[in-house]
Chains A and B, each alone.
Chain A
Amino acid sequence: MRSLDWAIVVAYLAYVIWDGIRMTKHSGSKEGYFLANRGLPWWAVGLSVMATQMSAITLVGTTGQAYSDGMRFIQFYYGLPFAMIILCVTVVPFFHRANVFTAYEYLEKRFDVKVRSLTSFFFLISRGLGVGTIISAPAIVLSIVFGWNLIATIFAIGLSTTVYTVFGGVQAVTWTDVKQMVIIFFGLGVCFFVILSSFPAGVSLTDGLHLAGSLGKLDMVDTSFNLQEKYTIWSGLIGGLFLMLGYFGCDQSQVQRFLTAKSVDEGRTSLLMSAFLKIPMQFGILLIGIMVFIFYQFTAPPIVFNESEVAKASQNVEFQGIQSRYAAAHEERKVAAVAFDSTDHVKRQAYADADKKFNEARKEAVAHVKETSNPSFNDVNYVFPTFILAYMPMGVIGLLIAAIFAAAMSSIAAELNALATATTIDFYRRLYRPEATDSHYVAVGRITTFIWGVFACIVAIFATNLGSLIEVVNKFGSFFYGSLLGVFVLAFVVKRARARGAFFGLLSGIASVWIASWYTTIEFLWFNVIGCLVTVFFGYVISLTVKEDQNSGDAETESI
């Protein structure tokens, strides 16, 4: 990195922190600090919803996944628009009219304080750990690719975000999210055109897409119904629907976004913005991974993208042999790629065979690293940052690092703010100090934001070597979201549901997901379906053991 790149990154960090801290003046009251006085416009809330969901893992992991596995991952998002419609019809108006600070606050009105505390507790556990992985993802990768100190990188990302979130509260989170989304889109747009201009003379985008398409890298609709297959249209539409319902409807980090909207209409519009834009946006990010793939058809990619592992393995004679075979396989594939003609079956087959040979050599290298140095080694997250450092011009490197930082910080800030809100409102105010001044709760909110920020940094330090990081975060979520969703389904839809049923139904749901994850090979997106159905089933059955008039909650809350 040159000084211009450093200047861009430092300027970005300084601006975001300043911009967040100056929101302190709007955050003096409890409503202001936690809910922005319920006065934000839909477009700001909508961008914040998207920024919260798009972490650095989305940028770094998804582009790497497209490079190595193609665009199949996009199917993960096919259930999102339908989830948004369901949420617009149900939880958005409900939470708005209930005037709650957290999603779990409503569960006390419907059931009892135990159900509220348990769901909020599970949220704190899952997101407290989740935010650690959100920090560690870019920190690990950037520290290795750019040679930065890992701990310093974790604290640079984690603590800088904590600082402005502590002072500015949800106002700072939302308005910095808006600016961060602009930086991310601008950075990715510039990156797209720089890669396109780096293709060899005579190779157009269409030629490149034919190369990628001939290997199945552009497949985005897999209609096979296989529970062991990670990304199919069914896992996306059904598993993804349940995950998105749980994430956007029951996770405080997202619920808090639309609670800050001016009205029910603005809250709905902010969610529908994601329903329209999420799939095309994800397509754009995956396409950049495909562009990197096309670029590396004509320029030799590193045998393993994590350079520190290559340096270690290069001492080994066996690895040197693999490197020679890899270089030869790349040359062969390059020749086949140049000669490729999408209408000529023989040339297509020659290219496919050369690619197979190339992949075998690379797999051998990855297996060697796993065997000799790092058993949980995963190369996916290093593809994009390594590419940026090696091939992007001065200035663009800084811009893209700022974009990765922006993606990370937008998610972390929302999570920290939500963790602090749940801690303050669901536990401190409800169980310890129910009657206190607004400024007291704001002070507690600031302290808990700081504590969660430090906790997240500590988790991030331990969250290394967990495989493909984007999946780690989604898996963390999938262990809890389905069951949390089940409790809300019981609350909204099942009139006969009672507090005892909801409480033990939730525990049964989470237990069933853990059992499924240990004893079956079912892919994680289906855990959301399992958790939700088991929670609703056991919640209903256990509720039948409770007398009809007991813990029935406010009758007016029962019907949707």
Chain B
Amino acid sequence: MKIKKMSEQFPDERPNAFWHRIYFAVVVTTFVVVTALWAFSQYFK
């Protein structure tokens, strides 16, 4: 069985640009959450 190349975009899928924005949002959210946890621990230290 042949397997399609990963880079190929399937018509029923959201465009890559959409997912890149989501991944960026994950990175930013993680940074904000870890910073908030650090601030939380510093506040009560």
Interface set of A (CB-CB < 8 Å, partner B):
71, 74, 78, 81-82, 84-85, 88-90, 93-94, 97-99, 109, 209-210, 212-214, 216, 218-221, 233, 263-265, 268, 272, 275-276, 279-280, 283, 342, 554, 556-557, 559-560
Contact = CB atoms under 8 A, between A and B. Distances in A.
Given A220-B37, A220-B38, A265-B13, A557 B29 contact: no
B4 A276 contact: no
Given A213-B43, A559-B7, A85 B37 contact: no
Contact of B3 (A85, A90, A109): A109
A90 B7 CA distance: 10
A219 B33 contact: no
Interface in B1-15: 1-7, 10, 12-14
Interface centre among B10, B12, B30, B38 (most CB of A within 10 A): B30
Given A209-B44, A220-B38, A84 B26 contact: yes
Closest 4 A/B residue pairs (Cβ): A213-B44, A221-B38, A218-B41, A220-B37
Contacts, number: 89
A429 to B, nearest CB: 15
B9 to A, nearest CB: 10
A275 B3 contact: no
Given A89-B19, A557-B3, 10 more contacts: A71-B41, A81-B27, A82-B30, A88-B23, A90-B6, A93-B6, A98-B3, A265-B13, A276-B29, A279-B33
A213 B43 CA distance: 8
A263 B10 CA distance: 11
21 contacts: A81-B26, A82-B27, A82-B30, A84-B26, A88-B19, A97-B4, A109-B3, A209-B44, A213-B45, A218-B40, A220-B38, A221-B38, A221-B41, A263-B12, A265-B13, A272-B26, A279-B33, A556-B2, A556-B4, A559-B6, A559-B7
B33 A280 contact: yes
A212 B44 contact: yes
B15 to A, nearest CB: 11
A263 B13 contact: yes
Contact of A85 (B1, B10, B26): B26
Nearest to A74: B37
B30 A264 contact: no
B26 A554 contact: no
A137 to B, nearest CB: 26
Contacts of A265: 12-14
A366 B8 CA distance: 59
B34 interface: yes
Given A97-B4, A218-B41, A276 B26 contact: yes
A264 B10 contact: yes
Contact of A221 (B1, B10, B30, B37): B37
Contacts of B10: 97, 264
A554 B5 CA distance: 11
A341 to B, nearest CB: 14
A78 B19 contact: no
B41 A81 contact: no
A283 B30 contact: no
B2 A554 contact: yes
Contacts of B2: 554, 556
A216 B45 contact: yes
B18 to A, nearest CB: 9
A2 to B, nearest CB: 37
Contacts of A263: 12-13
Contacts of A221: 34, 37-38, 41
Contact of A275 (B7, B13, B26): B26
Contacts of A557: 3
A310 to B, nearest CB: 32
Nearest to A218: B41
Interface centre among B1, B27, B41 (most CB of A within 10 A): B41
A554 B3 contact: yes
Contact of B40 (A85, A220, A268): A220
Contacts of A99: 1
B8 to A, nearest CB: 8
Contact of A268 (B5, B19, B30, B38): B19
Contacts of A213: 41, 43-45
A99 B44 CA distance: 51
Contact of A559 (B5, B13, B38, B43): B5
A361 B12 CA distance: 64
Contacts of B22: 272
A283 B37 CA distance: 9
Contacts of A78: 30, 34
A413 to B, nearest CB: 28
B6 A94 contact: yes
Contacts of A214: 44-45
Nearest to B14: A265
Nearest to B2: A556
Given A221-B38, A221-B41, A283-B37, A97 B26 contact: no
Contacts of B41: 71, 213, 218-221
